[in-house]
Amino acid sequence: MITACIFDLDGVLVDSAKYHYLAWKALADKLGFEFTEKHNERLKGVSRMKSLEILLEVGGITMTQEEKEKAATEKNELYRSYISKMTPDEILPGVETFLKEIKALGIKTSIGSASKNTSLIMERTGLSKYFDAVADGTMVTKAKPDPEVFLKGAELLNTDPKECVVFEDAEAGVEAAHNAGMRAVGIGSTSTLGKAEIVIPGFTGFDFKTLKDKID
């Protein structure tokens, strides 16, 4: 039985990855090396500090802890300046139709995101109204594939993890869902998300019946 759906934010409900990329790229430019969109793929679903470490590895640069914190803060300030201009038009195709459908069916909904900027994005895009709970990077200490953020979502919804389905665009997120005892729908390609129970390219044309038929 499925009674709750838990959604990752970046890459599932909105495309904020492009803003993360622009902000990380500005930092790499300043440090004097090239940071490509392909490199950026490695940062999806990964925490802010871990993302910085990957970026520094790409550039072959070492920093003290203090320098790392300064660089991450600088990146976040630029990133927030971009996302503070987001609009409801940036919700990914098919997402609102699916959210409206499951709300009408009485399915409970939570966010399960690593991002500490979740509330700003939800406010700017108008997504807040579709969610009963928000579990995000401000509430957890362990990054995906640890199940902490999804278990927090289930707890906030007062739901058994076995009745939750997670929607994720990152491999580590699919693993985190399984580690939480939940099933997962991968949003993207089977080449990276093959372990999910279902993989779809996006929400367009996807409905709750299809979900139930495939995994309930």
Interface with ligand B16, residue 109, by CB under 6 A: no
- Contact residue for ligand B16 among 6, 19, 25, 48 (CB under 6 A): 48
Query: For this structure, is 10 an active site residue?
Result: yes
90 binds, among ligand B16, Mg ion, none (CB under 5 to 8 A by kind): none
Interface with ligand B16, residue 9, by CB under 6 A: yes
Q: Which stretch binds Mg ion (CB under 5 A): 11-19, 34-42, 78-86, 146-154?
A: 11-19
What is each CA distance from 177 to 43, 113, 169, 198, in whole angstroms? 19, 12, 12, 13
Spatial contact of 86 and 121, defined as CB atoms under 8 Å apart: yes
- Contact residue for ligand B16 among 4, 6, 19, 20 (CB under 6 A): 20
Spatial contact of 154 and 164, defined as CB atoms under 8 Å apart: yes
- 3-class secondary structure, 60: coil
Query: For this structure, is 213 an active site residue?
Result: no
Interface with Mg ion, residue 136, by CB under 5 A: no
Interface with ligand B16, residue 91, by CB under 6 A: no
Between CA 66 and CA 63 the distance in angstroms is: 8
Q: How big is the site for ligand B16, counted in residues (CB under 6 A)?
A: 20
Per-residue DSSP letter, 158? T
Interface with ligand B16, residue 125, by CB under 6 A: no
Spatial contact of 76 and 22, defined as CB atoms under 8 Å apart: no
- 3-class secondary structure, 137: coil
Q: Which stretch binds Mg ion (CB under 5 A): 42-50, 148-156, 158-166, 185-193?
A: 42-50
Instruction: Give residue for tokens 């099933």.
Output: 183
Q: Name the residues that contact Mg ion, by CB under 5 A.
A: 8, 10-11, 45, 169-170
Catalytic residue IDs: 8, 10
